[in-house]
Chains A and B, each alone.
Chain A
Amino acid sequence: DAGVIQSPRHEVTEMGQEVTLRCKPISGHDYLFWYRQTMMRGLELLIYFNNNVPIDDSGMPEDRFSAKMPNASFSTLKIQPSEPRDSAVYFCASSLLGGRGGETQYFGPGTRLLVL
């Protein structure tokens, strides 16, 4: 079992550039979650999908952020244009039942983003 796969693992970019983060959930998992982690704000849920459909995007900071899930095995989180305050670790997680009944979410290794 490969687990949740994220790419790239590290990204350094300049302010104003477009950044695309990628995630492949565990096969068979119907739920996919995007989180952001910073020292100041901790681990925050940005958006989650169920069966490829965005269910709750209330955590998406602003219009510069967008997320898509074109099929069950792939999702992207895009930041355009990027700003220094977007620097963080972005985690993707997946689960079979969405966390109901005590089912855990499985986290990918994260993408460390630095915007200069």
Chain B
Amino acid sequence: GQNIDQPTEMTATEGAIVQINCTYQTSGFNGLFWYQQHAGEAPTFLSYNVLDGLEEKGRFSSFLSRSKGYSYLLLKELQMKDSASYLCAVTNNAGNMLTFGGGTRLMVKP
């Protein structure tokens, strides 16, 4: 089975940096996705990690440690529009099934 843990809520200030952690225990693993979901909307793709290390994409970066079952999403220069839920999702061995964590609701304050 899959067990994925994320903090439920986080609060940060506009312009700051925030790190959202995700730990997982899985019977199979191929890669890890991060999705962003604004209230009332569908999840949208942010990043994908399959190898250990940091993937940087503009203001967003994602890190993976396969040996530790750990990932984080780093958001820099926070903007009000970054207020959303951030979902960590792990793929199975075949890479075609996603198991999602409960999501972290991020509130960005002025």
Report which A residues bind B (CB closer than 8 A). 31, 33, 42-45, 48, 50, 56, 91, 97-102, 104-105, 107-110
Contacts and interface: CB of A to CB of B under 8 A. Distances in A.
19 contacts: A31-B96, A42-B100, A42-B101, A42-B102, A43-B43, A43-B87, A44-B100, A45-B97, A45-B98, A48-B97, A91-B42, A99-B96, A100-B95, A101-B95, A102-B33, A107-B42, A107-B43, A107-B44, A110-B42
Contacts, number: 50
A100 B97 CA distance: 9
A108 B94 CA distance: 23
Interface in B45-79: 45, 48, 50
User: Which 4 pairs of residues, A with B, have the shortest CB-CB distance?
Assistant: A98-B96, A104-B45, A107-B42, A102-B48
Given A91-B42, A104-B48, A108-B42, A99 B97 contact: yes
Size bracket, chain B contacts: 20 to 34
B41 A104 contact: no
A108 B44 CA distance: 10
A100 B48 contact: no
A48 B96 contact: yes
A101 B51 CA distance: 11
Nearest to B102: A42
B50 A102 contact: yes
A97 to B, nearest CB: 8
Contacts of B94: 98, 100
Nearest to B45: A104
Most buried by B among A31, A102, A105, A108: A102
Nearest to B100: A43
